[in-house]
Structures are given as C-alpha cells and as structure tokens.
C-alpha cells in the first residue's frame, strides 16, 4: 500500500505544464464591471486521499472579484454521481478555505468563512442527513492532519496568534499535550515551554496530509512525521527551526514548482513526486536537489522529499514549469523503469529555456538518466507560452509565439530511434528542432492560447474557435470546435496521469472540451475569465430597488434603471418570464416573493444585460375577503362580521347616523330608522373597506323592555377598560352577567364593580364601570320588569395579548423580552418552581431548554396582575459549551411523566417519555392567518433503559378542535359550538439528538398531517434506540376561514354540519401520545 500525501498549492491559471510570460501570468485584480465576474488569479490544489486511488487532486479557482469556485473535476473512472464531473460550486466571497474529500456530494468537507467560523460536515455515506456543523469561531486559517481515512485533526490560527486544535487525537497528533479526541478547540502546546500554549504564530503551512508547520516571527514548529522526527509520540509540536535559514517577521512561504504534480508513483516502493519550494527572507530553497537526477526510483524505501533534512538553494522557481516523465515497463505500468524532471522557463525577453532531463529523452523507450543537465539551454525565442505532454504516445513540447504561431519539438510518439510514427499534429518522426504547426487546412495561425490534455492539443484562435489535434490511439485526428466564442483555455490535473482542458467562453462559462471538438458546459458558477482578459467594455449596471407599501400593506417595488438602459425588465418567477418595467410594481402574491430585475443595452449587433438584481420580500398584505365586512342585525342588535380579516392589523369602527366609534362588541340600536356603517381601517387610520346599511328597529312588543345599549372602551394605563350600559329605567331594572356567572341586580352592580351610575334624564340611566382588560371576557346586560326580559346585550373584551417573547444570548442564557407591555410601571418577575418563589427579572437567566418558567407582571401602582402564566424555555443556540442543562441526560435516570399523564398512554415497562413546550389544551384563536405557527419550540424526550433491545414506537393522535360555546351572530347568544378539523394541525419532525446511549437516528423525520389515527413520529428497531433521545418537533396550525357547526341553540339559523365564518373563542382537542414496546 502506498503512503498517500496531501498538500495545498497555488499555481497560475494554465495548469499542468503550461507557462505564460510573467507580464501575462499575474494580471492582478482585473475585475469585470458588475458583481460576480472575475479573472482566474490562481488555482489551489489539494489532494484527495479519501478516493480509491493515489491522491486525486482537487482544484479551487481563486478569482479577482474575491470569489472561490470549487471544481468537482474527477477522472471519469472515479466518478460516482451522474454529471458530477461537470459541476462547479461557487463559494462566493465569504469563504477563506474550502476542502472536500470523497466523490459525489457525500464526502467529508470542511470550510472557513471570512467571519472566522469553521464548519465540518462528516461524510454522508452512512447518514444522509448530515450537514455542516460549526466547530469553532475566531479563526483566520486552518490546516489539518489525517493519518487515515475519515480521521481528521484540525488546527486553527486565531487573531491573537495562538493555535488551537480539535478532532482526532488518540495518537497524539493534536499537539495539545492530551492523547485524546477533542470536540472543543484546545490550545496547542509550546514545546519550548512545556505546559504553555504556543503563541505568536503568524501563519500555518500544510506540508502534506500528515504534516503541518506553524511559523512565528523567527521560529518553525512542526506536527507530523516529516524531517526525520515524529511529534505524535510527544503529544506536542517539535521545534524544527534549525532546519531552515534564519528569518525575521515570518518572511517564510511555501509553494510548489508549477505545476507541482500531485500524488505518488508506484515502483518497488511508492514515491511522492511533489516538489516544494520555500521562500525564506527573499531566497528560495527546495528539499529536492534539482542539480542532479531524481531519486524517485532509486530510493530503497520510496522517495519522499519530506524525509530530507537539507535545503538546496535554487533560482526563483515561481515562473518555472516542471514536466515529469515516467518511463513505464513496456508490458506493465505497475513497474516504473525511470522517472525524471524537465524544467522550462520563459525569460522576460521571451527566450524559452530548459534544463533537467533533455527533451529528446521525454517519451523514450529507454531513458538515459545520465544525460540530466542542470545547465539552462535556449530552445526558442519570442515565446509567450509553453505546454508539455510527456505521455509516451504524445511526447511533445508546444510553444506559442508572440506572432500567433505554434511550434512543436520532441519525440513525437517515437519512443525509439527506429520508429517513424505520425505524431499528434500530423508530423512524422522525431522533431529535433522547433517546427511550426500548420494543420491540414493551414488554419493554425493567429493563435492566442494553447493547452494539452492527456491525449489532445487544443489551440485557441483569435476568432474564438478551438482547433484540436487528437490522438487517442495510433491515428491522430484534426477537429474544430466552433459556434461558441472562446476566450481562454484552462488545464486541470485530475489524477497523477490524467488531465483535461476547459474552454472559457466570452460570457465567463467553463466548458469541458473533448478531443473530438465537443464541449460540455459546467453548471454552478459563471463569470469566470482567464488572466488578463476583460469582457466587452460596454457593460451596464443593474437597477436599484426601493420598497414601499400601499394602505393594504401590499409591497410596492420601484426600480431605478441606469440612464443608458434601453431595456428595462423584471421577473417574478425566477427569471422564467421577463416583463417590461413601466412603473412601480404592486406585489399581489402572498408570502415570499423573489424579484429579479435587469438592465439591457441593445448595441445593434447584440444585447448586453446587466447582472440581475435579485432580492426577496415577504409580502403580507391585509386581506379583505369579498363581501366583508357584513352588518348583521336582529331585534335591534347590530353585529359586525369581519370574516377572515386579521383583527390584529386593523381597527374596526361602527357609524350610527354619522356618529363614529370603535367597534368592540354588538350594539343595541334604539327604535327608529338608522343609517349604520361598518368601517375597516389600517393602523394608520386609512379606510380599507366600508359597508353601509339602513336599519329600522321596530318598537318592542308591549310589556317587553328595550335592551340596554352597551359600549366597551380602550384599555387605560392600569390595564383596565371602561364598560358602559345605558337603559330606560321606566321599563325596568338592569342586570349584568360576567362570563356566564350569576346575574347581578342593580343594587349589587356597584358592590361588585368599580364605577358610578347616573340619570341624565328620566328615561335614561347610565352605568359607567371599570373592568380588568382580560381578553376574551364576556359581559352581558339585560333589562327586566320582573316578568319579561329584554334581549341581551353582549360585550366581549378583545385586544392585544401582552405575552413576553423568549430568546438566547451568545452564551445560551435566557432573555425575556417585555416590549409588548403597555406603558406603565410594571414589576417583572419569574419563577422556576411553579410559582413557589418569584425572582425579579434583571437580565439573562442561566436555564436549560424546554423547561417550564412562570412569568408574572404586576402594576406597581395598583397591584393588579397583568400576566401570571407559564411558558416553555426555547432551545439552545449551541454557543455555550457547558450550559446549565436543566434536564439530566444521565443514562438510566427516571423521567417524570406527571405533566403528561392525562394525555399519554405508556405501554411496556422501562420506557418513559416527556413532551415539552406545546400547550394546545387551551389555544386562543385570535387571527386568521392561513399559516399560523403555534409554539414551534417543542420537543419530546424518550428514554429506553429496559436493556431488552426490543425496540419501541412513539405515536400521536389528535381529535378535532371543538370550541366552547361561541357567538351565534344571528341570535346574539353565546350557544353556538363549532369545530376545526384535526387535519388543520401538522407536525414537522426534526432529526433526533442523542443525549446518552446508542447513537441511533430514531426520529421519523418529515412533515405529517395529524388526525385521530395514530401517526408514528419516532421508532427504534430491535437493539436500537437504547438510550436517551431529544426529538425536536415544530407544529403548524392552519387556521381556516370557516368552521363546521357541531351544535346550535334553539331558533338558530344554523344546522349541524353547516360552514360558518371562523369564531373567536377557545377550541379544545385531545392529544394522545403512545409509547409502546416493540415494533
């Protein structure tokens, strides 16, 4: 088995053995106008040792606009997922580093964002639900050590110059002084000062997958087995400063001699063929002596330059191209007979020079390594780029001249002196001097770029066409790719022996090229250009947006296009349809809407579009159903039916004969003719809807008193409301009832309520009372003469709920937000012992998730309690590594079921469960949003400590939500019973969390519509689920606009089964949770 190596390198856009003159190679930040367009500045390679081959290279493109683009490029034989070979992953500008190991999208991956957050996603082959998890923050860089598959140790450099480690550490590889795995970052130790963290680190360097360096201002520390020492045995880094020349201010860099071929070659013993260089205080050094032939074959144990303890001075290698020729055995590639380097360089004057293994030895059947020459020789002048293919079937050096002509020389697939093969470009025999390539049609001129794949030479012409010389076997072919205008070529190494060429088109898309001239576009990223290239200059800026709202709170989008735009378009369907923009756009779709807009410029020959402006809005208008509001009148009692209008977002008013007042409850009209209007206003008091009706109230029957007229006012600073009833005392006396309690006669009214009575006239008496602002309270009044009763006037207290909201701070402590309280002098307290003891709330509280907490808010002036209610604490956000857990997840501990005995059936001994957070036994429906989320912070805790391994299942059934008696608007009575179907409630089950025991996935992840039939939410097969599990569940309650009648009072116009508008009230349902043993 070979020892697999890993490293990271930065090279120019033209990879493998491709070289540009220095002035073209690094064009700098040549950014295209408009976001998301950039030139390729460099390509970072790292090797993927997770795949079933020796160190497959994985490339990441670094663009001048700050983006990073990950290429999934793999050799087709390694491809495991459909068109995976043709995918790009645009990481945007918020990633400092991204690594992906393994084929497909399921491999091990890690990333560091520009905000310093470090994430890891373990491979998903065994668990498809795995996602990126945050492991650390505050990092500026990371490196890793991996001593075997799926075994990673990570090292993070922090802003203060310290280094921390996390991950696998049982072999001592973390360097923390601890021989154990860590899931929380721990300081790396300073070997020069045992017991002290390593500080002052300026940079970290990835030598290979088993070795990393930490660089301070004047010292070098190593973790790994390089340079003849092993830090793993010490559980701490090793100081290797003495290996390197002295330096100052961390003037210490490492790179790879371009292209720094990756991986191993296999001979008697595998050898690493990577060639690093170090730049130290402005001077360059290598670990491999390039003045003599290589040791890839001769070393008994297999060559690896990281075993060296000597540095060799060299000239600046940053513009050097390294071609590696491996002479295989004629019969078996498993046997390597020779392996050697040839180096190329283009001087600033355009001279192409070479040294190392002579060109006439590249591709030879028998290599004479004695011909290795460290002296540089000029082979061609006025050259702008060189590319080399060392495959024995190709064995060519191609040079692109500044005159646009292409020249080749080399063995040209003639591996011996006695062969006379026709080579890749149609030239026969060995080419001993640079020879111009013309092509069968003499079209090879005005060439702007060249590149080699493993079996083809690609030539880009100034017309944008690509000409291809292709030789998959003994016969070459000459092809052309046209129809797409290409502006650059990109070589990507896919294995040690295999590389491909990509064409870059004029709009910045990458296409994978074939020897036959075919191209396949890569998906996932665009706006990618070669170094030095700028797209057409007549670009145009994208439009700008501004947002406003109309009186219905519909979103209005106004777009501001640049003056040069001749085309102004927008799309509301993700770009499927583009519409002309003629003025502000009123968004009528409810919910999340993605708006795209683009500017266009018609140049006459083509149309240039700007980058699309893309933004999302949440459009939540006030909806007024057709036909609403409605005025309902019976016996002079007028009710406003608002249907599905969201009363939390509007004000309702009633106008009687021109007198307008806020509407809170049905009103009694006096005898006579009246003009009555129902008015809906938004919170800015702009009218949204109005309906007017003429109503005539006939005199009451003889002997029957006239019903009192009632009114309930707005809440005051003491959280109380004025309640007024006016009646004719000559017809009888007043009686008042509260929440279906006893009727109080007039003498008792002022004994029970604060207030006064007055007689403005002989036929009018008024009671002005003050009542608590308890939302949902019902007050009724009637007049009796001792024999007959008037009809009842009912007033319902409606208004804002003052419940607090809950969140977590950065340390996972609980925060309580009381911003819903009205203005006043309030005492705010909480209790975690069910009200036995209250503590003042002064700030963040250290308390775990899913626990009951009681909150009490009291008016300090009057002593009145506004809120005294129990809530459930929210989940943790994960920032505190050791919060107060609240619930002890110790194995085998008994869990109390007292809170759920009434609704949970527990079957089978030794199983227990606890349901937290959702209190659906008393839901006040006060809105008609179609998708009202009710208390989404919920979870279930399940423990199986039976030890039998018999498995278990956990299910839920729900009955219909049946109301308490609600208002029958036709009768004005509170005796209508309605229901909401159980199917209005759904649950979204999230992945389970293992608190203790076997690491099994027990949650049945997904969304389920509930009913009276049992729905399984979690289950464990035999010998699984033996532990303690936390299962998060989000409940969604769909509030319908109509409900079904269950029963009605005498004389009602409604029958059982009728559909009526949604009624405000209390709806009840029975939740039955069943935890049963066995499956």
pLDDT in tens, 562-605: 988 889 999 999 899 999 999 999 998 888 899 999 999 886 66
pLDDT in tens, 135-161: 999 999 999 999 887 789 999 999 999
- Predicted pLDDT at 915: 61
Cα distances from 379 to residues 353, 408, 573, in angstroms, run 6, 11, 59
CATH of 544-619, one of 1.10.3470, 2.60.40, 2.20.28, 1.25.40: 2.60.40
Task: Give the pLDDT mean for 321-339.
Answer: 78
In whole angstroms, give the CA distance from residue 957 to residue 1072.
5
Q: Does residue 748 carry a pLDDT above 80? A: yes
Asked which of 275-289, 700-714, 974-988 is least confident by mean pLDDT, the reply is: 700-714
- Greater model confidence, 435 or 902: 435
- Greater model confidence, 1029 or 605: 1029
Tokens of 208: 């290979």
- Greater model confidence, 457 or 12: 457
Q: Does residue 19 carry a pLDDT above 70? A: no
Asked which of 758-762, 795-799, 962-966 is least confident by mean pLDDT, the reply is: 795-799
For residue 24, the SS3 value is helix
Q: Is-same-fold flag (630-796; 805-872)?
A: yes
> What dotted CATH number matches 805-872?
2.60.40
- Predicted pLDDT at 14: 30
Task: Give the pLDDT mean for 881-902.
Answer: 32
Task: Give the pLDDT mean for 426-442.
Answer: 94
- Predicted pLDDT at 700: 67
Ranked by mean pLDDT, the top range of 677-686, 821-830, 918-927 is 677-686
Q: Under CATH, what is the fold of the domain 630-796?
A: Immunoglobulin-like (2.60.40)
Q: Which residues pair with 253 in a beta bridge?
A: 279
- Predicted pLDDT at 300: 67
- Predicted pLDDT at 889: 32
- Predicted pLDDT at 1069: 80
Residue 602 CA to chain centroid, in angstroms? 37
- Greater model confidence, 268 or 733: 733
- Predicted pLDDT at 897: 28
Task: Show me where the domains of the chain are located.
Answer: 8-529, 544-619, 630-796, 805-872, 898-1077
Backbone angles phi, psi at 568, to 5 degrees: -125, 115
Percent of the chain past pLDDT 70, that is, above it, reads 85
Question: Count of residues for the chain?
Answer: 1079
In whole angstroms, give the CA distance from residue 510 to residue 69.
11
- Gyration radius of the chain over CA positions: 40
Asked if residue 656 lies in contact with residue 637, where contact means CB atoms within 8 angstroms, the answer is no
Q: Which residues pair with 152 in a beta bridge?
A: none
Q: Identify the band that residue 111 occupies on the pLDDT scale cut at 50, 70 and 90.
A: very high
Backbone angles phi, psi at 22, to 5 degrees: -55, -35
Task: Give the pLDDT mean for 87-104.
Answer: 85
Q: Identify the band that residue 86 occupies on the pLDDT scale cut at 50, 70 and 90.
A: low
| DSSP letter assigned to residue 752 | H
- Pair type for strands 38-48 and 528-529: parallel
Asked which of 104-113, 387-396, 550-559 is least confident by mean pLDDT, the reply is: 104-113
Within 13 Å and on the Cβ side, how many CA atoms surround 1030?
Answer: 19
Q: What is the mean pLDDT of the chain?
A: 83
Dihedral of CA 226/232/234/238: which sign? Answer: positive
pTM over 0.85: no
Residues ≥6 apart with Cβ < 8 Å to 940: 913, 914, 915, 916, 954, 1017, 1018, 1030, 1031, 1033, 1073
Q: Does residue 916 carry a pLDDT above 80? A: no
Q: Identify the band that residue 3 occupies on the pLDDT scale cut at 50, 70 and 90.
A: very low
Q: Which residue is listed with tokens 């050697």?
A: 340
- Pair type for strands 163-167 and 151-158: antiparallel
Q: Identify the band that residue 694 occupies on the pLDDT scale cut at 50, 70 and 90.
A: very high
pLDDT in tens, 842-871: 999 988 887 888 999 998 888 888 888 888
- Predicted pLDDT at 165: 98
In whole angstroms, give the CA distance from residue 453 to residue 493.
9
- Predicted pLDDT at 357: 95
Asked if residue 396 lies in contact with residue 425, where contact means CB atoms within 8 angstroms, the answer is yes
Tokens of 1077: 């043993």
Asked if residue 950 lies in contact with residue 1015, where contact means CB atoms within 8 angstroms, the answer is no
Q: Does residue 438 carry a pLDDT above 90? A: yes
- Predicted pLDDT at 222: 98
Q: Identify the band that residue 104 occupies on the pLDDT scale cut at 50, 70 and 90.
A: low
- Predicted pLDDT at 1008: 86
- Pair type for strands 1071-1077 and 904-906: parallel
Asked which of 151-165, 169-183, 878-892 is least confident by mean pLDDT, the reply is: 878-892
């Amino acid at each position: 088995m070979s020892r697999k190596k890993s490293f990271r390198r930065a090279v120019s856009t033209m990879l493998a053995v491709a070289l540009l003159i220095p002035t073209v190679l690094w064009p700098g930040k040549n950014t295209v106008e408009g976001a998301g367009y950039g030139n390729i500045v460099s390509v970072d390679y790292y090797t993927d040792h997770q795949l079933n081959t020796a160190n497959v290279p994985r490339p990441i493109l670094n663009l001048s606009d700050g983006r990073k683009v990950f290429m999934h490029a793999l050799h087709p034989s390694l491809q495991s997922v459909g068109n995976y070979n043709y995918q790009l992953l645009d990481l945007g500008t918020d990633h400092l580093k991204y690594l992906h190991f393994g084929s497909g999208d399921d491999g091990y991956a890690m990333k560091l964002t520009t905000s310093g957050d470090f994430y890891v996603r373990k491979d998903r082959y065994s668990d498809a639900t795995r996602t990126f998890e945050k492991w650390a923050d505050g990092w500026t860089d990371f490196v890793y050590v991996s001593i075997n598959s799926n075994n990673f140790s990570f090292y993070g450099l922090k802003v203060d110059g310290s280094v921390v480690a996390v991950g696998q550490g049982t072999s001592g590889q973390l360097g923390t002084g601890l021989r154990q795995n860590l899931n929380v970052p721990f300081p790396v130790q300073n070997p020069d000062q045992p017991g002290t963290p390593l500080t002052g680190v300026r940079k970290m360097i990835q030598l290979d997958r088993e070795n990393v360096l930490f660089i301070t201002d004047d010292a070098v520390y190593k973790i790994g087995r390089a340079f003849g020492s092993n830090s793993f045995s010490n559980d701490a880094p090793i100081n290797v400063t003495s290996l390197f020349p002295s330096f100052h201010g961390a003037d210490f860099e490492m790179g790879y001699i371009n292209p720094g071929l990756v991986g191993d070659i296999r001979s008697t013993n595998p050898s690493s063929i990577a060639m690093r260089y170090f730049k130290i205080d402005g001077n360059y050094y290598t670990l491999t002596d390039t003045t003599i032939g290589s040791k890839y074959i001769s070393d008994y144990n297999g060559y690896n330059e990281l075993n060296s303890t000597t540095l060799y001075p060299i000239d600046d290698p940053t513009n050097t191209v390294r071609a590696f020729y491996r002479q295989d055995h004629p019969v078996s590639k498993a046997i390597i007979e020779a392996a050697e380097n040839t180096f190329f360089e283009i001087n600033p004057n355009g001279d192409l020079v070479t040294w190392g293994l002579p060109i006439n030895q590249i591709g030879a059947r028998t290599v004479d390594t004695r011909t290795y020459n460290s002296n540089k020789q000029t082979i061609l002048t006025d050259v702008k780029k060189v590319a080399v293919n060392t495959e024995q079937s190709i064995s060519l050096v191609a040079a692109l001249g500044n005159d646009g002509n292409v020249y080749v020389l080399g063995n040209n697939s003639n591996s011996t002196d006695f062969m006379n093969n026709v080579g890749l470009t149609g030239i026969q025999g060995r080419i001993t001097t640079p020879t111009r390539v013309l092509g069968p049609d003499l079209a090879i001129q005005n060439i702007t770029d060249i590149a080699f794949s493993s079996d083809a030479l690609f030539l880009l012409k100034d017309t944008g066409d690509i000409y291809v010389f292709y030789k998959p076997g003994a016969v070459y072919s000459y092809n052309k790719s046209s129809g797409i205008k290409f502006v650059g070529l990109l070589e990507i190494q896919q294995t040690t022996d295999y590389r491909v060429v990509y064409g870059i088109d004029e709009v910045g898309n990458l296409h994978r090229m074939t020897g036959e001239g075919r191209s396949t576009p890569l998906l996932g990223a665009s706006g990618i250009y070669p170094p030095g290239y700028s797209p057409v200059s007549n670009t145009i800026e994208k439009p700008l947006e501004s947002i406003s709202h109309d009186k219905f709170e519909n979103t209005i989008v106004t777009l501001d296009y640049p003056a040069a735009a001749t085309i102004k378009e927008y799309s509301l369907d993700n770009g499927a349809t583009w519409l002309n923009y003629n003025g502000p756009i009123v968004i009528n779709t409810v919910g999340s809407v993605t708006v795209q807009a683009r500017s266009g410029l018609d140049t006459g020959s083509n149309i240039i579009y700007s980058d699309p402006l893309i933004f999302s809005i949440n459009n939540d208008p006030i909806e007024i159903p057709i036909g609403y509001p409605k005025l309902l009148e019976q016996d002079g009692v007028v009710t406003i039916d608002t249907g599905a209008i969201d009363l939390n977002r509007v004000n309702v008013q009633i106008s009687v004969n021109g007198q307008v007042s806020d509407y809170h409850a049905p009103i009694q009209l006096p005898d006579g003719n009246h003009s009555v209007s129902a008015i809906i206003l938004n919170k800015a008091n702009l009218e949204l809807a109005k309906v007017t009706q003429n109503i005539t109230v006939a005199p009451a029957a003889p002997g029957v008193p006239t019903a009192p007229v009632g009114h309930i006012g707005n809440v005051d600073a003491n959280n109380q409301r004025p309640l007024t009833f006016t009646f004719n005392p000559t017809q009888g006396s007043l009686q008042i009832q509260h929440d279906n309690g006893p009727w109080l006669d007039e003498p008792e009214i002022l004994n029970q309520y604060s207030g006064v009575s007055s007689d403005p006239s002989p036929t009018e008496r008024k009671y002005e009372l003050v009542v608590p602002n308890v939302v949902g309270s019902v007050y009724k009044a009637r007049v009796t003469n001792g024999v007959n009763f008037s009809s009842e006037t009912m007033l319902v207290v409606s208004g804002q709920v003052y419940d607090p909201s809950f969140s977590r701070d950065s340390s996972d402590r609980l925060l309580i937000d009381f911003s819903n309280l009205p203005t006043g002098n309030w005492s705010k307290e909480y209790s975690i012992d069910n009200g036995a003891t209250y503590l003042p709330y002064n700030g963040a509280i250290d308390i775990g998730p899913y626990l009951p907490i009681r909150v009490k808010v009291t008016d300090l002036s009057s002593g009145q309690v506004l809120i005294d209610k129990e809530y459930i604490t929210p989940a943790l956000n994960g920032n505190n590594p050791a919060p107060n857990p609240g619930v002890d997840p110790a194995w085998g501990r008994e869990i109390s079921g007292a809170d759920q005995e009434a609704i949970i059936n527990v079957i089978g001994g030794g199983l227990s469960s606890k349901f937290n957070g959702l209190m659906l036994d008393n839901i006040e429906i006060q809105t008609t949003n179609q998708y009202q989320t009710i208390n989404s912070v919920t979870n279930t805790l399940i423990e199986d400590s039976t030890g039998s391994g018999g498995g278990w299942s956990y299910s839920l059934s729900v009955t219909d939500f049946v109301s308490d008696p609600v208002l029958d608007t036709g009768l004005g009575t509170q005796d209508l019973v309605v229901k909401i179907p159980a199917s209005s409630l759904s649950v979204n089950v999230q992945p389970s969390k293992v608190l203790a025991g076997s690491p099994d996935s027990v949650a049945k992840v997904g969304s389920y519509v509930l009913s009276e039939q049992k729905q399984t939410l979690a289950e464990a097969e035999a010998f699984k689920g033996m532990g303690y599990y936390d299962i998060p569940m989000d409940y969604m309650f769909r509030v319908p606009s109509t409900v079904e009648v269950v029963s009605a009072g005498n004389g009602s116009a409604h029958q059982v089964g009728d559909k009526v508008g949604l009624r405000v009230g209390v709806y009840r349902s029975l939740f039955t949770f069943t935890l049963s043993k066995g499956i």
